[in-house]
Amino acid sequence: MDHNDVEVIDKQNVFSGYVAVDRYRLRHRLHQGGMSEVLDREVVERGHVSAVLPVDIARDTVVLIEQFRPGAFAAGENPWLVECVAGIIEARETAEQVARREAWEEAGCRMDALIPMHRFFTTPGALTENVELFCGLTDSHGIGGVHGAVHEGEDILVRVAPVREAIDMANRGLIKNAITLIALQWLAIHYPDLKSQYTDRSETA
């Protein structure tokens, strides 16, 4: 089934701020045939996201950031989360452009190459947010400190961690951000091939 199997009866914007909230009245085709009852659903329009996990193949390290997250605070959890670099994809921008820009602004990293990992929804039951996730090859030498755009309220601590340590943090439940978990799980699977491929390429060059 696809968009043609959904009937939108009404759509109203009920809030516009840091995010926008739209209220839908709709019904959709059922797996066993026929149509559902009319459903009232609120959907949060958050924008689409580009995220990147900077990886230094030569040093076997990754670059992670730590920042305050009000959603985690409101949920009663520790609101300082360890994450990938990420940013909203604005009009007329590509996901690759945003990944490179945010890596520099949030972590002081320049990307040598961007390798697509996944494209996925974070919470499709209520959010439109779609994430394009990359592995970004970088040089982590000298990376660290506090970064971020002060006028946007950003206070971002940058840390460089060994690849194995970062993956172990994910395995021990110390990473609470879903995008970062997906990135580190991808890295755990693909890192040996990634290291072999790009080490061979740099030696040939």
How many CB atoms are closer than 10 A to CB 163? 20
Tokens standing for 134?
Answer: 């990359």
Q: What is the pLDDT of residue 18?
A: 87
Neighbours of 51 (CB within 10 A): 26
Cα–Cα dist 95/132, whole Å: 7
Say which residue the tokens 């840390």 belong to.
159
Percent of the chain with pLDDT over 70: 97
Mean pLDDT of 51-61: 97
Q: How far apart are CA 103 and CA 117, in angstroms?
A: 16
What's the CATH architecture for 49-204?
A: Alpha-Beta Complex (3.90)
Q: Is 154 helix (H, G, I), strand (E, B) or coil?
A: coil
In 3-state terms the chain splits into helix, strand, coil percentages (rounded to 5) of 30, 40, 30
* Nearest partner of 116 among 196, 194, 171, judged by Cα: 194
Kindly tell me the sign of the dihedral angle through the C-alpha atoms of 156, 160, 164, 168.
negative
Summary mean pLDDT of the chain: 94
Instruction: Kindly name the residue from 152, 154, 165, 203 that is annotated as catalytic.
Output: 152
pLDDT for residue 205 is more than 50: no
Closest among 198, 92, 48, 74 to 137, alpha carbons compared: 198
Residue 42 has pLDDT above 60, yes or no: yes
- Report the SS3 class of residue 157: strand
Known catalytic membership, residue 7: no
Under 8 Å between Cβ of 21 and 14: yes
Residues 6+ apart with CB under 8 A from 40: 23, 24, 25
Q: What is the pLDDT of residues 107-146, one digit of tens each?
A: 999 999 999 999 999 999 999 999 999 999 999 999 999 9
Classify 164 as helix, strand or coil.
Answer: helix
Q: Which amino acid is at 87?
A: G
Mean pLDDT of 181-190: 97
Q: What's the pLDDT band for 149 if we cut at 50, 70, 90?
A: confident
pLDDT of residue 201: 56
Q: Where are the domains of the chain?
A: 3-45, 49-204
CB 183 within 8 A of CB 120: no
**Two tokens, residue 133:** 């996730």
The pLDDT confidence band at residue 200, using thresholds 50, 70 and 90, is low
Rounded Cα gap, residues 165 and 167, in angstroms: 5
Over the stretch 170-184, which tens digit does the pLDDT of each residue have?
A: 999 999 999 999 999
Rounded to an integer, the average pLDDT of 40-67 is 96
pLDDT-derived band of residue 153, with 50, 70 and 90 as boundaries? confident
The 8-class DSSP code of residue 129 comes to -
